[in-house]
Every structure is written in C-alpha cells, then in structure tokens.
C-alpha cells in the first residue's frame, strides 16, 4: 500500500501535463500495435515462401470475419492466385511500412516521455526547494547541509530516472509482451500457455530482488549524504587540515565512508543484475519446450511451417521486452528509494509556523520586551532561563557574556528563528508569534560575523535579489557603509563578480558589503552579531564608523566579545549560563557584576580608569 501511495504521489505531479501523458500512452500503444503487425506479417511471408499459404487459416483472426475483412481477404486471395511473388513483395513492403510507423511513434513516445520525466524532476526540485528554504533553523541543525544537498543531487535525480523508465519501459514493454503473447495464443493456445508458464516465477523473482534493491539503495543514499558532508567539511576547513597536517586522517575518513557506499551499492547491483539472467533462463526454458513440442507437431503435420516460424518469432520478440521489463522494475525500485527520502524531506513541517490568521507586523518603532523568556533547543534542557529585558526605541543594547551564555540564542528568538518555550517577546506591545514571520524579519537588519555573499556582482550582492532598487540607492548604501571607495577601485566597479562566497574580497570589504546590504533594507531594528570580531584595526575602525552612523535613532542589539566596542551602549546586559546576571552601564557593571569584571580584566588586565578599586 505504501508503495502504491508513492507511485500515485509521483503521478500527481503529472496532472498538469495530462494531455502529454495521454499522447505518450497512445504512442506506446501504437508502437506495440505496429510491433504486433510486424510479427504478424511473418506468417504470410513464411507461408508464401514455403508454399503453405492457405487463406482459410486467416479467417479465425480478429476483425477478418467482418465485411471489410472479408473483402480484403478476397482481394489478397485473388492476388496470391495470380502472382505469389508479387504477394510476397507486398507482404515484405507491409512489414517495412509498419516498422517505419513504429519508429515514428517510438520517437514521439521517447521524446514526450523524456520531457515529462525532466519536467517531473524540475517540479519536484522546485517544491522541495520551497519546503526546505522555508524550514526552521532547527531543521538544518538536525539534517545537516550535506544531507540536504544530497537529496537534491541524488534522490531527486533517481525520481527522474524512474519516471523516464516508466514512460520508456514500464508502459511500453508490457504492451510489447502482450502483443507477442496475443499472436502466440492465436497461433496455438496450448503451446502459448506452456511457454508462458514461467511468467509467475519471473514476477516473484522481480518482486523479491526489487525489495533488496530498494533497501540497499536507501542505505547507499545515506552513505552518499555522509560523503558529501565529509567533503564539504574538508573543503571549507582546508586551512585547518593543512595546518594540523591531517590530510591522511581526512583521507581515511573519506575512504571508510566510500567503502560503506561501495558495499551497499554492490548489494543493490547484485540483486539488479540477477534479474535479467534469471529472466533469460526461465524464458529459454519456455522456448525450449515450444521447440520440442512445436517441432513434434510440425513433423506430425499438426502445425504448418509458417505457424511454427511465426510462433517462434513471437516468442523471440517477447524475450527482449521481458528482459528489459525485469531490469526496468529493478530501476523503478531504486527510484522509489530516492522518492521515499525526497518525500520524507518534503513532509517535515517547520517547527516555527505562522499562527492561523497571522497579521502583518505594523511599522516598528523599536520598543522590545523580553518577558520571563525561557528556551530549550531540545525541548528539555533550557539554555535560556527566565530572561526579562525592556529596550526602549532607539536604545543601543549590548549583550555580553562568556561563550554559551545565550547571547546569540536571544537574538535567534527575537528574529523568531525559534519560538520561546516559555514567556513572551513583544515588539511595540505585539507578541511576535501573532504576526507573519516575513513581516517581522523584513524590519530587522542582521549583520553577523559569518558573512554570506554570493558569486555575483557587487551591486546584486547589495540589492540581494531586489529589482526595485536603483543604482543610485545601491551606491548610497555602499557610501553609508564606507564601501564605495574600494568598490570603485574594483575592475568593473559595482559590476565586478566577487567570486564564490565573496572570496575575491578581503574580510573587511566583505563585511562592509554585508552592512551596505542591511543599510539598503533600512530596518527599524539593527542586530550586530560580533560583526567586527575577526577584523584588523583599520577595517574595524571603518566599520565602527559606519555602524555608529547607521544605528543612530534605531533600536540596536550588539553582541561583541570586544568590550571596547560597546562601552558607549545605553544598556549592557550581562548573561551567564542563560540568565541575566546584571544590567547597567559600563562603569557600574565593573563594580557590581563579577562576570563583567572578569570579562573586562581578561581583555584589558586592569580596571577602567574611571573606576577606583578598593585599597587605592
């Protein structure tokens, strides 16, 4: 039942192209019909050649006993009596014409089938992309980037391959087999039944091997995902690998996973490759029985030479489609394994969803309240404990604390990348869970330490897919971010392609482009997540100058390890193990907060000049 559901789910994607599906199926039927005509033409040719031509034997064929069939049969009889040689030429020409007709419809069937399979792949990919791109952040933490990419790279392509096989083989080959069997049964029902006795055995073997193929293909797809993840880690961390001289270690990890892949792939291949030989052996037994019994009938005069040749040709023509069909069934099982993983990904629901009837967030003024907020990533152990915080419009708030204190988690909750476990987060008195996520995030500007740029032009990276920004607006945003000067020095200025992840630019230049992108968005709330922590002093100075100008009058949250960058904040919130340890200005916190004092002295090795320590 589950297998049928997968088939129907795949077929659902073809609903918009139903007329193309009909054309493909009609072409398949015509191909099989012409195939039957070619086989059927062998008998009159053989009878004419061996001198056994008897028109009365054709009267038992379908449609011949109709008025039109009788007239046609009479005309053929007159021609045969007048000139057997000419009749033989006409039969040969008929076979060639039928073969040409078959070739035409085979092209139509192959072309439309391939289009439908490729269209199916595109539609599945687009829907999968929509589902994945709209997932919550927790989805990517659990599934991993490598595993997600592998579903697009391998699993969706398996669906395409399976669809192509269905249109090219699963639909056509059973019709070809049926055409050959019909002719065989018309010739001699008893012999045809004996020859077909192995079909149930073939069906059982195909089903058994098919299950093995699907099982091991699913394992191999997981192996491919692991290999992709390993490769991604190695390439992104190549500097670390080389600095620690760990090339051999990475190679060993890569080799182990490839060996697992090879093992599972070969199990699937073994089952797949056994199908065709088994089909051949069983089919050969049927052909052997026919030759034995049919040859005896010919020798005893119970079967004509033409009937024997035609029957043998029909069985021979069944063998090829039967072999192709058994192999195709294995390929379909492989495809279903890919479909299963693809649909599993599609069916995962985002953990963070818009509430029913969620409204758009009104223009934000910037009053933010965390009210007794708690949060757990795994739903069990809280990493944020009862945090309460009020930020007035236009205030600059710095979040500080040791690693793991919960700074970034609070920002993730503010942007609703995750939903709070307890408590509320309100902006301008509105619970952020009551508004559409897009309307909230469109008014919040995020600049992180991890800069995300694309292999595109400078201008397109700043506008980030928005076509409604003019070049003047893009330049204005770049100037505000202190980026215009270095952009002008690039080979093509704003039309310069900056390479994958912006690798043709320095760290400071990439960061300024990211800030320019946020400036163009003109957010009501700024979030700076350690935006200058990895820059040199000159780049940091330029960026700090730009940020000071940009955040003026806007509610701003700053996460920074360098306390020198946040001493002028209106409010400093000290976090410790997910709790608010203290809130206040810089000087007051040094004396009242042990955590803040420890952070400060680790960086500066001395108290602030404005603070008088006991004993001095």
> What SS3 class is residue 550?
helix
Give me the helices (H) in 2-133, please: 2-12, 18-40, 42-50, 67-82, 84-133
pLDDT score recorded for residue 616:
41
Instruction: Give first-to-last CA distance, the chain, whole Å.
Output: 83
Distances 327 to 207, 277, 463, 575 between C-alpha atoms, Å: 11, 10, 51, 63
Does the pLDDT value for residue 458 go beyond 60?
Answer: yes
What domains, with CATH codes, occur in the chain?
A: 2-346 (1.20.1560.10), 449-522 (3.40.50.300)
Closest residue by Cα to residue 312 from 482, 192, 430? 192
Does the pLDDT value for residue 571 go beyond 70?
Answer: yes
- 10 Å Cβ neighbour count for 279? 23
- Using CA atoms, how far apart are residues 595 and 592, in angstroms rounded to an integer? 9
- Using CA atoms, how far apart are residues 24 and 501, in angstroms rounded to an integer? 44
Chain position carrying tokens 């007048």: 82
- 10 Å Cβ neighbour count for 313? 20
pLDDT score recorded for residue 414:
92
Residues in the chain: 616
Q: Which two tokens stand for residue 315?
A: 């069985």
439: left (phi over 0), alpha (psi -120 to 50) or beta: alpha
Does the pLDDT value for residue 58 go beyond 60?
Answer: no
β 384-391/368-375 pair status = antiparallel
- Using CA atoms, how far apart are residues 326 and 279, in angstroms rounded to an integer? 7
- 10 Å Cβ neighbour count for 116? 21
Tens-place pLDDT, residues 199-229: 777 777 777 887 888 888 888 888 888 888 8
Distances 237 to 54, 233, 243, 530 between C-alpha atoms, Å: 82, 6, 10, 21
pLDDT score recorded for residue 223:
85
Question: Which of 319-333, 357-371, 421-435, 502-516 is predicted least confidently?
Answer: 319-333
- Using CA atoms, how far apart are residues 574 and 563, in angstroms rounded to an integer? 11
pLDDT score recorded for residue 423:
92
Does the pLDDT value for residue 335 go beyond 50?
Answer: yes
DSSP assignment, residue 359?
B
**Confidence tier at 614 by pLDDT (50, 70, 90):** very low
> What SS3 class is residue 392?
coil
pLDDT score recorded for residue 180:
74
Distances 383 to 214, 408, 409, 527, 581 between C-alpha atoms, Å: 41, 11, 8, 20, 14
- Using CB atoms within 10 Å of the CB of residue 123, give its burial: 0 to 12 exposed, 13 to 18 middle, 19+ buried: middle
CB contact at 8 A, 456 and 420: no
Tens-place pLDDT, residues 403-442: 888 888 999 999 999 999 999 999 999 999 999 998 998 8
Mean of the pLDDT values across residues 146-151? Answer: 83
> What SS3 class is residue 432?
helix
Q: pLDDT: is 59 or 521 the higher one?
A: 521
pLDDT score recorded for residue 425:
93
pLDDT score recorded for residue 613:
46
In this structure, what is the dihedral angle of CA atoms 37, 43, 44, 48, given to the nearest 10 degrees?
A: 150
Mean of the pLDDT values across residues 243-267? Answer: 83
pLDDT score recorded for residue 249:
81
Residues facing residue 497 across a β-bridge: 457
Closest residue by Cα to residue 454 from 499, 406, 507? 499
Mean of the pLDDT values across residues 327-356? Answer: 83
**Confidence tier at 372 by pLDDT (50, 70, 90):** very high
Average confidence score pLDDT of the chain: 79
Closest residue by Cα to residue 231 from 244, 250, 252? 250
Mean of the pLDDT values across residues 515-543? Answer: 74
Q: pLDDT: is 287 or 348 the higher one?
A: 348
Does the pLDDT value for residue 549 go beyond 80?
Answer: no
pLDDT score recorded for residue 3:
59
- 10 Å Cβ neighbour count for 520? 21
pLDDT score recorded for residue 401:
86
Q: Which two tokens stand for residue 216?
A: 């091991």
Rounded to 5°, the CA angle 139-143-149 comes to 110
Tens-place pLDDT, residues 170-192: 777 777 777 777 777 777 777 77
Q: How crowded is the C-beta side of 219, counted as CA atoms within 13 Å?
A: 18
């Amino acid at each position: 039942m589950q297998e049928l559901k997968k088939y129907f789910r795949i077929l659902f994607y073809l609903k918009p192209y139903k007329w193309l599906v009909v054309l493909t199926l009609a072409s398949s039927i015509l191909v099989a019909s012409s195939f039957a005509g070619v086989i059927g033409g062998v008998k009159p040719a053989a009878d004419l050649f061996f001198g056994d031509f008897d028109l009365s034997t054709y009267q038992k064929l379908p449609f011949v006993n109709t008025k039109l069939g009788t007239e046609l049969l009479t005309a053929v009889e007159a021609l045969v009596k007048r000139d057997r040689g000419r009749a033989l030429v006409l039969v040969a020409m008929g076979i060639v014409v039928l073969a040409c007709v078959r070739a035409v419809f085979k092209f139509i069937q192959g072309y439309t089938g391939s289009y439908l399979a490729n269209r199916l792949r595109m539609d599945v990919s687009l829907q999968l992309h929509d589902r994945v791109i709209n997932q919550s952040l927790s989805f990517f933490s659990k599934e991993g980037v490598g595993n997600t990419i592998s579903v697009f790279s391998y699993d969706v392509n398996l669906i395409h391959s399976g669809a192509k096989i269905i249109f090219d083989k699963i639909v056509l080959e059973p019709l070809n087999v049926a055409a050959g069997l019909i002719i065989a049964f018309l010739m001699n029902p008893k012999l045809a039944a004996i020859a077909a006795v192995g079909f149930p055995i073939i069906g059982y073997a195909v089903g058994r091997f098919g299950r093995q193929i699907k099982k091991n293909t699913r394992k191999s797809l997981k192996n491919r995902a692991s290999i992709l993840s390993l490769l991604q880690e190695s390439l992104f961390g190549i500097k670390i690998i080389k600095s620690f001289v760990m090339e051999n270690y990475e190679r060993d990890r890569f080799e182990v996973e490839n060996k697992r892949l090879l093992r599972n792939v070969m199990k699937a291949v073994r089952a797949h490759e056994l199908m065709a030989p088994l089909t051949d052996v069983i089919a050969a037994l049927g052909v052997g029985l026919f030759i034995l019994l049919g040859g005896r009938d010919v020798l005893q005069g119970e079967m004509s030479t033409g009937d024997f040749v035609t029957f043998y040709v029909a069985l021979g023509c069944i063998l090829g489609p039967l072999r192709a069909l058994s192999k195709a069934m294995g390929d379909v099982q492989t495809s279903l394994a890919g479909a299963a993983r693809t649909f599993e990904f599609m069916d995962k629901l985002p953990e963070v969803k818009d509430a029913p009837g969620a409204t758009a967030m009104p223009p934000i003024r910037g009053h933010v309240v965390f009210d007794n907020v708690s949060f757990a990533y795994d739903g069990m152990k809280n990493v944020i404990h009862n945090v309460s915080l009020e930020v007035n419009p236009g205030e600059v708030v710095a979040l500080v604390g040791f690693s793991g204190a919960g700074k970034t988690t609070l920002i993730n909750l503010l942007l609703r990348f995750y939903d709070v476990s307890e408590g509320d987060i309100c902006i301008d008195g509105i619970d952020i869970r009551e508004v559409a996520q897009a309307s909230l995030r469109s008014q919040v500007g995020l600049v992180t330490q991890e800069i995300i740029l694309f292999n595109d032009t400078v201008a397109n990276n700043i506008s980030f897919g928005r076509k409604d920004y003019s070049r003047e607006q893009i330049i204005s945003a770049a100037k505000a971010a202190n980026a215009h000067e270095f952009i002008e020095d690039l080979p093509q200025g704003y039309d310069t392609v900056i390479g994958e992840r912006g690798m043709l630019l320095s760290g400071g230049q990439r960061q300024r482009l990211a800030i320019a992108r946020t400036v163009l968005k003109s957010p009501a709330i700024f979030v700076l997540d350690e935006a200058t922590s990895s820059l040199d002093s000159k780049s940091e100075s330029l960026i700090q100058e730009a940020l000071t100008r940009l955040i003026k009058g806007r509610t701003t949250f700053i996460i920074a390890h360098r306390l020198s960058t946040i001493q002028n904040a209106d409010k400093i919130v000290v976090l410790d193990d997910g709790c608010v340890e203290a809130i206040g200005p810089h000087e007051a916190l040094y004396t009242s907060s042990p955590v803040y004092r420890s952070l400060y002295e680790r960086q500066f090795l001395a108290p602030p000049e404005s603070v008088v320590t006991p004993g001095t």
